[in-house]
Chains A and B, each alone.
Chain A
Amino acid sequence: AQSVTQLGSHVSVSEGALVLLRCNYSSSVPPYLFWYVQYPNQGLQLLLKYTTGATLVKGINGFEAEFKKSETSFHLTKPSAHMSDAAEYFCAVSERTSYDKVIFGPGTSLSVIP
C-alpha cells in the first residue's frame, strides 16, 4: 500500500531564507509524485509533478523538487521564501499502474516571518 509522510507539520522560515519541505513515500511500484499548495479556504493548486525523466523537477513560483529513488524522497525546495508562500503544502503519490488513487500526505504548514 502507498503512503506519504511529511516531516514537520509546521515549518517557519524567514523571508528570503531557503524553504525545505520534506516528503517521503512508500510505494511498491515506481510512483508519480506531486506537490500541491493550498491557501486558506481554497482548493489545491499543483506546484509540480514527477512522472518520468529528469529527477529534478521545476514548478511554479520558483519551487522545485528532486526525486531520489534510493531515499524514497521528494523534498520541495525554494531558494528564497516570500511572504506569499505562506500556505499549506501537500505531498502526494499515485501509482503508475492504478491511476485512480492519489494519496496525500498529512501536510506541512509553512509560515514566513518578515
Chain B
Amino acid sequence: GAVVSQHPSWVICKSGTSVKIECRSLDFQATTMFWYRQFPKQSLMLMATSNEGSKATYEQGVEKDKFLINHASLTLSTLTVTSAHPEDSSFYICSARGGGTGLYEQYFGPGTRLTVT
C-alpha cells in the first residue's frame, strides 16, 4: 500500500523558535496533502489542504502566518510552525492523496509530536 512518512517523529523546541515538519509520500505522487492537529484524547482537526504548486487552503481559525505550508513537489509537503509557543504543543499528522488509489482515500503519516518548552 501507499506509504507516507513524517520527519521528525518528535521534536522539542524552545518558545519563540520555528520548527519544520516534513511529510513525504514514498511510493506514490501526492497531488494533495493534508495537515491535521490532534490534542491528547481528542480527534483530528484539519488545519489545511495543500495542492502541489499551489498555496495552501487553511481551515477557519488556523493562522496561516503561523503555520506555513509548502507543497513544492508531488512527494513532499512541509509544515513550519513559526515562533512556536507552548500552546502549539500537539501531535501533527499529515496525509496524502493521489497515485491512482482513488480520489477519496487519504494515507496517513505516523505523526510528529511537537513539544514547546
**Residues of A in contact with B (beta carbons under 8 Å apart):** 32, 36, 41-46, 49, 51, 90, 94, 96, 99-107, 109
Contact = CB atoms under 8 A, between A and B. Distances in A.
Chain B interface residue bracket vs A: 20 to 34
A49 B107 CA distance: 13
Contacts, number: 51
B49 interface: yes
Interface in B41-69: 41-44, 46, 49, 57
Helix, strand, loop or mixed for chain A's interface?
Answer: strand
A104 B43 contact: yes
A103 B108 CA distance: 14
Given A102-B46, A107-B43, 11 more contacts: A41-B113, A43-B109, A44-B95, A46-B105, A49-B104, A94-B104, A99-B103, A99-B104, A100-B32, A100-B57, A103-B46
Nearest to B59: A101
Contact of A44 (B46, B93, B104): B93
Given A32-B104, A90-B43, A43 B97 contact: no
Contacts of B4: 43
B103 A104 contact: no
Interface of B: 4, 6, 32, 34, 41-44, 46, 49, 57, 91, 93, 95, 97, 102-111, 113
6 contacts: A32-B104, A36-B108, A41-B91, A49-B105, A101-B46, A102-B106
Nearest to B36: A104
B93 A106 contact: no
B18 to A, nearest CB: 23
Contacts of A51: 102, 104
Contacts of A43: 4, 6, 93, 108-111
Contacts of B6: 43
A90 B42 CA distance: 10
